[in-house]
Amino acid sequence: DQQVKQNSPSLSVQEGRISILNCDYTNSMFDYFLWYKKYPAEGPTFLISISSIKDKNEDGRFTVFLNKSAKHLSLHIVPSQPGDSAVYFCAAGGSQGNLIFGKGTKLSVKP
Amino acid sequence: GAGVSQTPSNKVTEKGKYVELRCDPISGHTALYWYRQSLGQGPEFLIYFQGTGAADDSGLPNDRFFAVRPEGSVSTLKIQRTERGDSAVYLCASSLLGLAGRRITDTQYFGPGTRLTVL
């Protein structure tokens, strides 16, 4: 059973508009969440994280929102740029060392 | 470069053969992780080293898979009697502190992966 779910396999957005990527989780023991970005033939690159005690974390064009009661988080990218086109993975971590990843959402930002 | 490196980048082997995949973590990173990414899936945890010891190997799918990190730096993932279902991208990541640090700030940095194809 998937503990971290990204239900949209793909998303297409116009350059300059907002991209919203969603992620749901089932395990209430997770205490931090991350977003990774992956280009083809490269490993995932860390983008932004949020602790379970917060509901928002912002870094430049990237903002992650966490709704603990709904077990839902989202990544907002504003404004979206063509270079943002990649696969975005949501991941969750707890007391264990490893991360639990979702299946990813492929974002395409069109000029 | 100072990032995580993995060799080979691609490995094609025949069913039943033995393979070794190598990971060179970022210098000074005490924690090292192996993940496996199958087509259309996210990375799935295999094993985690804190220094030389395997702190958590609960993700290894069966006893055909084994990993070592004898000197606390380079790690080798070993797969015996490979099967077609083992075909995937094997990702390695490292972090500075692992269990010794605060998890959310202990970013895991990934290598480019080794694409294993078992024919």
Residue A33: alpha-carbon gap to chain centroid: 8
What's the CA gap between A88 and A74, in Å, rounded?
11
Cβ-nearest to A98 among B33, B40, B109: B33
> What is the rounded end-to-end Cα distance, in angstroms, of chain B?
33
Give pLDDT, residue B105. Answer: 74
Q: Is the pLDDT of residue B22 over 60?
A: yes
- What integer is the mean pLDDT of A74-100? 93
Tokens representing residue B70 in the block: 């004898």
pLDDT greater than 90 at residue A49: yes
pLDDT of amino acid A23:
98
CA distance B6 to chain A (A): 10
Q: What is the pLDDT of residue A35?
A: 97
> Which residues touch B15 (CB under 8 Å, ≥6 apart)?
B82, B83, B84, B118, B119
Cβ-nearest to B108 among A51, A95, A99: A99
Quick check: B2 pLDDT over 90? no
pLDDT at position B101 = 67
For chain B, the average pLDDT equals 93
Tell me the pLDDT tens digit for each residue of B25-83.
999 999 999 999 999 999 999 999 999 999 899 999 999 999 999 999 999 999 999 99
Residues of A with CB under 8 A from a CB of B: 4, 6, 31-32, 36, 41-46, 49, 51, 89, 91, 93-104
Statement: residue A46 has pLDDT above 90: yes
- Chain B residues with CB-CB distance to A51 below 8 A: 104
Please tell me the predicted confidence (pLDDT) of residue B100: 66
Whether pLDDT at B1 is above 60: no
Across A1-19, b (16+ Cβ under 10 Å) vs e yields: eeebbbeeeebebeeeeeb
B53 contacts chain A (CB < 8 A): no
pLDDT digits (tens, 9 = 90+) for A3-41: 999 999 999 999 999 999 999 999 988 989 999 999 998
Neighbours of B110 (CB within 10 A): 22
DSSP characters over B27-72: TT--EEEEEEE-TTS--EEEEEEETTEEEE-TT--STTEEEE-TTS
- Cβ contacts of A100 on chain B, cutoff 8 Å: 45
Contact residues, chain B, for A93 at CB < 8 Å:
103-104
Tokens of B83: 């099967």
Q: What is the DSSP letter of A15?
A: T
The CA distance from A109 to A111, in Å, is: 7
What pLDDT score was predicted for residue B103? 72
Size (chain A), residues: 111
For residue B99, give how far its alpha carbon lies from the nearest alpha carbon of chain A (Å). Answer: 7
Q: What is the 3-state secondary structure (H, E, C) of A17-31?
A: CCEEEEEEECCCCCC
Q: What is the pLDDT of residue A84?
A: 97
- The count of CB pairs under 8 A between chains A and B is 63
